[in-house]
Each structure stands twice: as structure tokens, then as C-alpha cells.
A = this chain, B = another copy of it.
Amino acid sequence: MRSDELGQELHALVERLYPLCRSITGDGVRSTLAIVDELIPLTTHEVPTGTEVLDWTVPREWNIRDAYIADARGRRVVDFQASNLHVVGYSTPVDATMSLDELRGHLHTLPGQPDLIPYRTSYYREDWGFCLTQRTLDELQEGQYRVVIDSTLADGHLTYAEHVVPGQVADEVLISCHVCHPSLANDNLAGIAVATALARRLAGTTPRYTYRFLFAPGTIGSITWLARNQERIGLLKHGLVLACVGDSGALTYKSSRRGDTRIDQAVRHVLATSGRPHRIVDFSPYGYDERQFCSPGFDLAVGSLTRSPYAGYPEYHTSGDTPDLVKPEAMLDTLDTLTDVVGVLEGDRNYVNLSPFGEPQLGKRGLYDALGGWTDTKQAQLAMLWVLNLSDGGHSLLDIAERSGLPFTAVVAASDALLGADLLKEI
């Protein structure tokens, strides 16, 4: 597929998922996963309400059909059908008439961004509310309003899904993204789209690592997954949480809690040698599900890749986060970066130089220019010298790429040539 076509396809997926009203449970999540399942086969898990998961409990399932505020003439002044952000997530059912003053305690606006609807939830305290623009609120007349939320909050299930690409070894790479946000495009439909595309790129290959893609509601979803997969945690060697990967900002890598793991090194190297503008930030215990994967009991090697960072753009968590904010070329750029990171994880090896005393004579093995005296040694030859010099057991190919400043691919090519000449041995 041509890359511009792939970009358009990713964007079409974002647009298709955008209208669905997702939350941490409910049919919006199921519909979302069903669409992803058309592209990559998913194993979907339904976890009953009340299940104990680590320190949490799976909540009741929430579904909503309609909601509005209507004025005395029956005109819908706030309408869920126009935007599912209008209803506070997990709002309990209501059907009442009340004065504007009574209603105000249930209304949420962004006074500083008067044309945007905020995104609000109330998962763990029973309540109801509406979100609207400040401009709409300002125009409401005093008087009586009919308030309707046609929702259900009842025992049911929490839904999440996995897609696994089996590898040569049981050790796993986790790619995780949250699927609980209603009509917010960059956060996180872009993440779902890019994760899906990465899975498709791996389809049909047999990578070294097993790749596990996790599509789960934020916080409670990753906590549920962790609770149900404790025996698997030891296999999880590297991981990335994807969010906000479609806006036009520069890529941002938030390091794992440990900060010096192989995934941290791999992402940093790919970004540093890509020429892309980018940011590397330290771990902090807020943001997305890296909060859970990097809690001190697990302390996994999981970083987070975004473009604009968490809460780092003005449309974040508002009705301004539409598919227009998400750019096909930005999603492609994130996907290519991820592909390079996967390439590094896949290709990284530890070798020892079998001829460590002095340089081995590369020329007699056909690995070095016969004509000497050049002032510009070729990259391939430099890469071989670096691999030979640092392959002492203590440096992996990624370490060598970082130390030398050479692209990882050049270092791998050099190690392949040296392996072919029996000058290296894997350890």
C-alpha cells in the first residue's frame, strides 16, 4: 500500500470510530472493538461487574441511548445526539423538570474556551450532569427545563481485547492503548488506529518477540488486565503505551519509571537518529496507563509514546479534539517510528568479538577497501570497527549504535557481515 493511502485509511478508521459513545464499560467499547476486529483478529474479554481487580472493583456497566435538556418550548438546547460529550460519563438516569438555577449544579463548561464542550466523567460516584459550551450556557434563559438522561447503570461487564502476534520466544512486547473515550479523536482513536496498523505490519511475520496488543479502558482496564495476567508479567520485557499519536506536534517519549531500560534506549535511539524533532521526558506517575504498568509493585519496562504530550494541546479533553485535529501524515510518522523501534528490539543482540587482540584483518576477508589512504572511511567499515571494538560481552548492538552515533541498521549490517566471517559469536 502506498503510504498516502495508508494514511488515508488510518484517518478513515478514526472517522468511523469517532461517533461511538465509549466509556469504561458498555456497548460503545464493544462496537469499537468489533470494528478493530475487522482489521486484526481480537480476543475479547468480558469481566463481570464486582470482580475484584488489585485494589479496585469492576464497576457496573453503563449504557446510554439519549439525553437532552429541553426548554419550555420543547426545543433541545443541549442534545446528546449532537455530541456524546454533552453527557457526563456514567451519568445516572434522570427525567425531571427544574429551574435553570437547580440545573446549574449539574452543568460543566470551560469559561476560558467558551466554544468548546468539556469532557467529564463520574465513574465512581453516582451523579449525573451535562457538559456544554460556555456560550450556550450564557444564552440560556431563566425558566423551567426538561432534563432527560436515558441511561442504564447496571451489573454487566467490563470489556477489553487483545491481539497477539506469536514470536519465536515467549518474551513479550506490549503495545497498549485506551479505548474508553467518547468522541475524542486524537485521544485516543489515533492510538487505536496506529496500534492496529502496527499489528497489521507484523501480521504474517514471525518476529523474535511475541507482540501483545491491548485495547482496554484506561486505568480500570489496564488494572483488570494486570490483575488477570499476573503470571504473564515476567514475560513482559518491553512495552509502550500509545496515546495522542495523531496530532501535528512533535513526538514525545515519556520514559519508563526505571528510565534506563531497553525500550527507553531503543526509542531514544530511534528518535535521536531519525532527524525528527522530538522530546524525551522523564517518567511521572500521571498520564495514561503507564501509571499502572509502572506502579512500584510491577515497575515494568513500559514507556509512553505520544505526539503532543498528555494534556498538552488546547483541544485536549474537549469537543475540539475532532478528526480534523488528527493528520494522516502524523499517524504515519508515528507508525514508522514504532516500526523502527520494533526493528531495534528485534535486531538487538549481544556478541563477542572472536578475534579481540588487535583488529582482525578485514581486508583478507573482503570486508575492507583494498586501496588505503582514504580520509573518508565508509560507514559500513566504521560500523564493523565499532562492532569489533565494543563486542566484549558488555555492549549490545544497540549500545554500540548509541556509543558510535551510527544508525542501528548500519550496526546490524556490520554485525551480519562479521558473523558471516566468523568474527563474532552471539552470547
Bound CA span A21–B299, Å: 63
Interface string of A110-151 (1 = CB under 8 A from B): 000000001111111101000000000000000000000000
Q: A263 on the interface (CB 8 Å rule)?
A: no
Of the listed stretches A29-37, A38-46, A385-393, chain B binds A385-393
Q: A292 on the interface (CB 8 Å rule)?
A: yes
Nearest B residue to A363 via CB reads B124
Q: Assess A389 versus B358: contact at CB under 8 Å? Given A89-B372, A373-B118.
A: no
Q: A370 on the interface (CB 8 Å rule)?
A: yes
From residue A112, how far is it (CB to closest CB) to chain B in Å? 11
Q: A5 on the interface (CB 8 Å rule)?
A: no
Query: For residue A364, which residues in chain B have a CB less than 8 angstroms away from its CB?
Result: 124
Interface string of A363-391 (1 = CB under 8 A from B): 11000001111111100001001101111
The interface centre, meaning the residue of A120, A123, A124 with most chain B CB atoms within 10 A of its CB, is A124
From residue A326, how far is it (CB to closest CB) to chain B in Å? 18
The A contact surface, by secondary structure, is loop
The interface centre, meaning the residue of A257, A296, A363, A404 with most chain B CB atoms within 10 A of its CB, is A296
* Chain A positions 256-303 with a Cβ under 8 Å from a chain B Cβ: 257, 284-286, 291-292, 294-299
- Of B222, B373, B377, B392, the residue contacting A121 (CB under 8 A) is B373
Contact B356 A297 (CB under 8 A): yes
Interface string of A212-241 (1 = CB under 8 A from B): 000000010011001100000000000000
Q: A311 on the interface (CB 8 Å rule)?
A: yes
Bound CA span A4–B124, Å: 50
Q: A255 on the interface (CB 8 Å rule)?
A: no
From residue A86, how far is it (CB to closest CB) to chain B in Å? 13
Interface string of A317-360 (1 = CB under 8 A from B): 10000000000000000000000000000000000010111111
Bound CA span A120–B297, Å: 62
Query: For residue A375, which residues in chain B have a CB less than 8 angstroms away from its CB?
Result: 311, 316-317
Bound CA span A374–B299, Å: 26
Q: Assess A357 versus B295: contact at CB under 8 Å? Given A370-B124, A372-B123.
A: yes
Q: Assess A295 versus B356: contact at CB under 8 Å? Given A284-B404, A361-B55, A364-B124.
A: yes
Contact B223 A296 (CB under 8 A): no
Q: A170 on the interface (CB 8 Å rule)?
A: no
Contact B370 A125 (CB under 8 A): yes
Nearest B residue to A355 via CB reads B55
Q: Assess A295 versus B123: contact at CB under 8 Å? Given A89-B372, A311-B375, A375-B311.
A: no
Contact B120 A373 (CB under 8 A): yes
Chain A, interface size category, equals 35 or more
Query: For residue A284, which residues in chain B have a CB less than 8 angstroms away from its CB?
Result: 386, 404
Q: Assess A56 versus B370: contact at CB under 8 Å? Given A285-B389, A296-B389, A386-B285.
A: no
Query: For residue A77, which residues in chain B have a CB less than 8 angstroms away from its CB?
Result: none
From residue A382, how far is it (CB to closest CB) to chain B in Å? 6
Contact B372 A291 (CB under 8 A): no
Bound CA span A227–B124, Å: 64
Bound CA span A296–B388, Å: 8
Nearest B residue to A88 via CB reads B371
Q: List 29 A-B contacts (CB under 8 A).
A: A54-B358, A55-B355, A55-B357, A89-B372, A89-B373, A119-B373, A120-B371, A120-B373, A121-B371, A122-B371, A123-B372, A124-B361, A125-B370, A222-B358, A223-B359, A226-B358, A284-B386, A284-B404, A285-B359, A291-B385, A291-B389, A295-B356, A295-B358, A295-B388, A295-B389, A296-B391, A297-B358, A299-B392, A317-B373
**9 nearest CB pairs, A to B:** A297-B356, A297-B357, A285-B389, A125-B370, A121-B372, A285-B385, A296-B392, A55-B360, A311-B375
Beyond A119-B373, A285-B390: 18 further Cβ-contacts under 8 Å?
Answer: A54-B358, A56-B361, A124-B370, A125-B363, A223-B359, A226-B357, A226-B358, A257-B389, A285-B386, A295-B359, A295-B388, A296-B392, A297-B353, A297-B357, A298-B357, A298-B358, A316-B375, A317-B373
